[in-house]
Structure formats: C-alpha cells, structure tokens
Chains A and B, each alone.
Chain A
C-alpha cells in the first residue's frame, strides 16, 4: 500500500484547527458576523489518485467560502478548482482536478489541443517539476 499524502499534510495545524477564526463572532443587532477561514493555502506537492506532482515552487491556492458554507479552492492561472464541505475536502478535490487536467492536457498529444488547452498545458509544464505515477493497491 502506497503511503498517500493528503492535503492535510500541508498544514502545521490539524485540519479542524487550520480553519482559523479571523474574526470573533460578534452580535450586530440581529446579524452575526460569519466565521471566516484562511484565504490562501500553499502546496509544494500535489497528490491525485494516480500521480504525485513535485512542483518547481510552492503553489498559492486561493480559498473562498460561499454563503452555504462550501469551500472553493482555485488557482489564478491554472484551470483548476476544487470544492468541498471543508477546506480539507476542497484541497483534496483541487488535487484531483489538477491531475485530471494534467492527464488531459499534458499527458496527451498536443496536436489535439485547442488554443486554451495549449496555454493551460504550458502553464502546467511551468509549474510541475516532476510527475510520478503512483502504484496504489485499492
């Protein structure tokens, strides 16, 4: 069994504690301030279902929260986003989407790519130092 890194490994804090409370809940008449989490995460490695990607430099991942409490992770340049009920889930989803895009846009014949696909391919190649195929017993 391959020891699989999880997105939680990126944090110094356990996943639950990594949801830092930046604002203390305060009573504003009938309204409550919502709890805000971190706005950015940094990954030096991405681990999908079948690949581990070693990156040239730490990747800044934007984190956003919607009204229903869902967490969205995304990158400014790479066409990758992830969603989840928690930051941990959203980061894991980000990792899998990263892998999906890599397999479709980089590990393929570039002659089949539309201009947006080619631009994304070049962006991935600039970010990834090494893509290692994982052998996972499922």
Chain B
C-alpha cells in the first residue's frame, strides 16, 4: 500500500516541469513541459476525493498516465526522481 498525499503530488509535479491546465469539473490536468516545449504527457488530478491521501488505485492510474511504474511515480513525488531523469526515462520509452 502506497501513501501519497494529493498536495505533495501537485507540488512535485510543478517542481518537475508540469503545468496545470484549465480544470474540467473536479479535475485538474497537469502537462509536462520540457526544453523542447509542450509534450503529450499529461495526468489527471482529481479533487473530488474526501481524503487527502491518494488511494492506491489513483496512484496506479497516475503512474500509467505518466508512463512510469508505481515505484518511479512515488520517487517522482518524494523527490529521488529528478526532472532530468524523468525526461530521460520518457525519452527512452518513446513518449517524448
């Protein structure tokens, strides 16, 4: 079971090069920007949940949307995974 707070996720995404887009309902979409510009990589953050803790299922969904494993996603939020490493990983995987 992974415990990740919504506010930590949003702060980490902003630190790692993501920018929020126009909200759709209760959801905010964060998109990755690199030095080359705006990418196709985007993830949805839901604000409808009652708890500040993200459920395991949501962590799993966000990981998939970002083309990361769950462990890599947690590293992205808790800091070991830098923006540079994220860009490297997504480039290796053919998403940038």
Q: List residues of chain A with CB under 8 Å of any chain B CB.
A: 48-49, 66, 68, 70, 72, 79, 81, 83, 93, 96-97, 99-101, 103-105, 108, 112-117, 119-120
Could you count the A-B residue pairs with CB atoms below 8 Å apart for me: how many are there?
63
Q: Which of A93, A105, A116, A119 has the most CB of B within 10 A?
A: A116
**In the complex, what residues of A have CB within 8 A of residue B27's CB?**
96
Q: Are B96 and A114 in contact (CB under 8 A)?
A: yes
Q: Are B38 and A100 in contact (CB under 8 A)?
A: no
Main secondary structure of the interface of B (DSSP, over half): strand
**In the complex, what residues of A have CB within 8 A of residue B65's CB?**
81
Q: Are A100 and B61 in contact (CB under 8 A)?
A: no
Please name the residue on chain A nearest to B65 by beta carbon: A81
A115-B95 Cα distance, complex, nearest whole Å: 10
Q: Are B40 and A100 in contact (CB under 8 A)?
A: no
